[in-house]
Amino acid sequence: MLRYRVLLAAVAALVVTSPAAADKRVALVVGNSAYVQAGALANPTNDASDMAEALKQVGFEVILGLDLTKSAFDGKVRDFARALEKADVAVFFYAGHGLQVGGRNYLVPVDARLQGERDLDFDAVSLDFVLRQVELDREGKTNIVFLDACRDNPLARNLARSMGTRSANVGQGLAQVQTGVGTFIAYSTQPGNVAVDGAGRNSPFTGALVKAVGMPERNLTSVMIEVRKEVLAATSGKQVPWDHSALTGDFYFHLASAAGVLPKVIPGRPETEENLHKRMRELEEELKKKSDPQMTAKMVSLSHSKARLQQLEDSNRQDQQRIFDTYRKAGPSSDAAARNAVSREVGSIQMEMARRSQEIRKLREQIGGLEVELGLAEKPTQEAKEAAK
């Protein structure tokens, strides 16, 4: 029984020191609607106000910014950075216009003009800059970023026209971001895609997110699954919320839901010696996982690999649609030059798809190996290996 008491004491320490249960939580919530040069957006200020209230309800200190100019946006980020010096959990939420140029993402204040590429540094807020403030000197902390900024953006089109031959650097939607360990980032739709604004008070993404944050006993993964399901239903499958995680543990918005690692006692079941032994074995395994840095590294690697696999598979599906659209637009033609041009274009797409397919195969093998090492899957038999080839 001494061994059991020692284990239970270890659990109590984990519960008391659990970030989800006792840490200071700070959020910066920004919603920009009243754009001067791009036309007003209906939802973002509502989205930000509702998200701020939802976070306050689950214990966050919230810094709220609505319809921020560039100078006001910079000021809110500075306030946020200062508040994070003593915070263990950081959330950054942004709703409004955003754009990507050369693979870098920018958030757009309401007074931005963006008449040329140089204006980006003066008129817009670099997402990399915000993430740097969130992650700086915060090793071992939890950082969560929500971006509802993938709307159709006339400022991006104007900027592309001003850049001439460099206009291809202005991408649609937002680019995927590689974050540091401890950071989770969620987009309202797939990287490179445009999200739906929504006809009601909130955008489909934020409306679903506010609702899911209010649900108890759900970790962040479960929250995003619920958001994804609701947005898919609301947009008839056109919009798929996307996330990238480098978290090293569970996060719960509701403090009471983060009840530690102790296995639940089943009501009405007598606590026999056999049951107690079973619960202690489960507890020991959980404690080993929490104290094993190699296990944590493998979990992070698995998350990265799955995110990359999803990205590659989505890109191949999009390219398959591009091939179909190319043939459809070209139609039957007796012009040999036109047919050759179509063949070259399709061939180029197919070569890129083949390259991705090789990477997909390697990633699946890597994911399978990691899942076996982490105890999430059984080692495949030789017959299964042969069938997968």
d(CA 150, CA 318): 18
d(CA 13, CA 260): 9
In this prediction, residue 281 carries a pLDDT of 60
Domain limits, the chain: 2-13+260-291, 19-245, 293-388
In this prediction, residue 1 carries a pLDDT of 47
Q: In the sheet that 242-245 helps form, which strands lie side by side, from edge to edge?
A: 61-66, 25-31, 89-95, 142-148, 183-187, 242-245
In this prediction, residue 269 carries a pLDDT of 47
How many Cβ atoms from other residues are within 10 Å of residue 349's Cβ?
Answer: 17
Can you give the chain as a three-state secondary structure string? CHHHHHHHHHHHHHHHHCHHHHCCEEEEEEECCCCCCCCCCCCHHHHHHHHHHHHHHCCCEEEEEECCCHHHHHHHHHHHHHHHHHCCEEEEEEECCEEEECCEEEECCCCCCCCCCCHHHHHCEEHHHHHHHHHCCCCCCEEEEEEECCCCCHHHHHHHHHHHHHHHHEECCCCCCCCCCCEEEEECCCCCCCCCCCCCCCCHHHHHHHHHHCCCCCEHHHHHHHHHHHHHHHCCCCCCCEEEECCCCCCECCHHHCCCCCCCCCCCCCCCHHHHHHHHHHHHHHHHHHHCHHHHHHHHHHHHHHHHHHHHHHHHHHHHHHHHHHHHHHCCCCCHHHHHHHHHHHHHHHHHHHHHHHHHHHHHHHHHHHHHHCCCCCCCCHHHHHHHC
Q: Give this prediction's pTM.
A: 0.62
CATH second-level architecture of 19-245? Answer: 3-Layer(aba) Sandwich (3.40)
Q: Are 298 and 373 in contact (CB under 8 A)?
A: yes
In this prediction, residue 117 carries a pLDDT of 74
In this prediction, residue 101 carries a pLDDT of 81
Which two structure tokens, joined as six digits, stand for 36? Answer: 């001067």
The Cα angle at residue 353 between residues 352 and 358, in degrees rounded to 5: 100
d(CA 222, CA 208): 12
Which two structure tokens, joined as six digits, stand for 69? Answer: 């100019």
Cβ-Cβ contacts under 8 Å for 132 (sequence gap 6 or more): none
For the chain, report the end-to-end CA distance as a whole number of angstroms.
Answer: 51
Q: Are 246 and 307 in contact (CB under 8 A)?
A: no
Distance of CA 352 to the CA centre of its chain: 26
Q: What's the average pLDDT block by block, 10 residues per block, for the chain (389 residues)?
A: 47 42 84 88 94 96 97 97 93 92 87 80 91 90 91 57 43 70 90 70 94 91 92 86 88 72 44 57 55 62 74 83 80 76 86 89 87 72 57
How many Cβ atoms from other residues are within 10 Å of residue 389's Cβ?
Answer: 5
d(CA 305, CA 87): 29
